[in-house]
Amino acid sequence: MSAQPLESHRLTNQAAPRWLLNLILFISAAVQLSRIVQVQSTTGEVPFLSANDRSRWCTVAALALTGSYEIDDVLEIRDPKTRRRVWYTIDLVRHRGQDGQQHYYSSKPPLLPTLYTGVYLVVRAATGATLMKTPFVVVPIMLVIVNLLPLLGFWWLLARWLTRSDLDLWSAGVLTFFIAWGTYLSTFATTLNNHLPAAISVGISLWCIDRIAFQKDSRLRWFVLCGLTTSFGAANELPALSWVAAAGAVLFFISAKRTLCAYAPALLPVALAFFGTNYLAHQEFKPAYAHRNLGVKLCEAELAQPVQLTDLSAEPIVQALLSCGIECSEDSIIRPARREGVSELWDEANQQRFGLKFESGDASAKATLGIYQWGDWYDYPGSYWTEGRKQGVDRGEPDRGVYIFHSLIGHHGIFSLTPFWFVAWAGCFVLWRSRESANIFRDHRLLLAAAILATSVVAIGFYLARPLEDRNYGGVSSGFRWSFWLIPLWVWLAMHGMRAIRSGWGRRTVELLVVASVFSASFPWKNPWTSPWLMQYGEYLGWI
């Protein structure tokens, strides 16, 4: 009677065979492939799932057709049967282009769509299929190439990591199952997005640090690759700049010379590509999504009589602009802007827009009116991003405390939707208790854990501290998507947390956490651009 439990214990604690982990990943890959080939919009005309990915597809189509980032014509494409504008997106901006006319552009950074355009041109040349005529052929092929294959590569790295770790069979199996089914990286494999490439890049950079710090392989190639991947992660997720700094700090304490000679210079190519493509698209280096307020102040106009912004005449403003050397039509009109206390001077003849704002904050006698470059690219006729048109979570959460609650443990909660992350943070305590030295800079495991913890606090804190219009949980999305790029870092912590779980009740608890995480990640099976199940259930019960 006693021999059976002993044998079972021995089997549970043997090293994880690679074939078992690969089998879990291969099955998951097959399932994700089946999801990709079935992608289609809710109305069925195109294989796009949301305004978010349509925005990127528009750029890819425009670049391939005209070599331009202007998406005006693409937005007007209509389905021949339903006559719906099936390419239209709300994730766009409008500004004056190189031809002197106002044009629409995707609000997404252009680097990723530019790279995807290169992939599309190869697919088009090889198959003869086009995005416009046969999107249901092109899009699945593209998603396999740019999403699924990189994700499989990322899984393969993690599987290798697990097989050479000292984790037992149960721990390695649970982690592999969680990686394949319990994170939102798999959920978003069916749509063009920046979160998946950012997470994979961060994961590769972490692999490089592991090679350098723990495998004692300090060849320059790993420093260079780490620099390229951390910077590409930051190019796709702005707060990932914190990981660029944290990873650089870890490498610096390991080898200052190689970090300065290899890691630091490797950051430049991606930075140049990011700002270079942004300049090609918008004729300036500042990303489109950052244009949401008044631009540079051009000049001032003195008003002799009290007047409200809504009653302003264009004539004194036109004269003030002329005195500054800026030609403006006398037929220009003044219309309200979406920002309170701001109006717009619209010069249709020259296709120019200017922002107007009282410097004193009122319309007193001889008030000074500031005239600015038009810097709010989200403000244009018919824009969704005005107070009267935004819907649902896009209106922003007025109470910051409520926003923080729901972002962490509420309806969009990082920990409520993916409770397995509690194991990851337990890994921090495991590492601290098992530290080899009281000096954090000598214990590379502790140094890396501190870097991950600092990165996580900075990145999550960045989003929790955003102003009202940004407190929207990432828009309509099945999870708090701004945190997805941190997944590889938290998996590394979870590997250490799993080592401390030995009791039967502890393992059953972890298994329940994995099941709950898999449920959250699988709930939006057809479309990741839907509200989380917790939010939908809360709305059904009337709690939200």
**Is 355 within a domain?**
yes
pLDDT by residue (tens digit) across 366-414?
A: 678 889 999 999 999 999 998 889 999 999 999 999 999 999 999 999 9
Q: Is the pLDDT of residue 95 over 50?
A: yes
Q: What pLDDT shows up at residue 5?
A: 39
Residue 315 belongs to domain spanning: 293-373
Q: Is the pLDDT of residue 458 over 90?
A: yes
C-alpha distance across the termini of the chain, in Å: 54
**Neighbour count for residue 78 (Cβ, 10 Å):** 13
- In 182-255, which ranges are continuous DSSP H helix? 184-187, 195-213, 220-236, 241-254
Predicted confidence band at 535 (pLDDT cuts at 50, 70, 90)?
A: very high
**Is 126 within a domain?**
no
Predicted confidence band at 4 (pLDDT cuts at 50, 70, 90)?
A: very low
Average of per-residue pLDDT across 505-514 = 96
Distance CA 308, CA 127 (A): 61
**Neighbour count for residue 158 (Cβ, 10 Å):** 23
Tokens 């790295």 label which residue?
Answer: 157
Distance CA 38, CA 56 (A): 20
**Is 337 within a domain?**
yes
**Is 424 within a domain?**
no
Inter-residue contact 530 to 474 (CB < 8 Å): no
Q: What pLDDT shows up at residue 436?
A: 64
pLDDT by residue (tens digit) across 289-298?
A: 999 999 999 9
Q: Is 354 helix (H, G, I), strand (E, B) or coil?
A: strand
Q: What is the mean pLDDT of the chain?
A: 91
**Is 107 within a domain?**
no
**Is 309 within a domain?**
yes
Q: Is the pLDDT of residue 12 over 50?
A: no
**Is 366 within a domain?**
yes
Higher-scoring residue by pLDDT: 9, 89: 89
pLDDT by residue (tens digit) across 36-72?
A: 999 999 999 999 999 999 999 999 999 999 999 999 9
Cα 63 vs. chain centroid, distance in angstroms? Answer: 22
Predicted confidence band at 257 (pLDDT cuts at 50, 70, 90)?
A: very high
Phi, psi of 445 (to 5 degrees): -65, -45
DSSP state of 80: T
Q: What pLDDT shows up at residue 459?
A: 97
List, in order, residues 6 or more apart from 343 with CB less than 8 Å away.
309, 310, 312, 334, 335, 336, 337, 355, 356, 357
Higher-scoring residue by pLDDT: 117, 386: 117
Average of per-residue pLDDT across 310-327 = 83
Which residues on neighbouring strands pair with residue 103, listed in sequence order?
95
- In 394-486, which ranges are continuous DSSP H helix? 400-408, 414-417, 421-433, 444-464
Q: What pLDDT shows up at residue 366?
A: 66
Task: Provide the token pair at 4.
Answer: 């059976």
**Is 365 within a domain?**
yes
Q: What pLDDT shows up at residue 505?
A: 94
Q: What is the pTM of this model?
A: 0.93
Task: Provide the token pair at 75.
Answer: 């937005």
Give the number of domains in the chain.
1
Average of per-residue pLDDT across 337-355 = 92
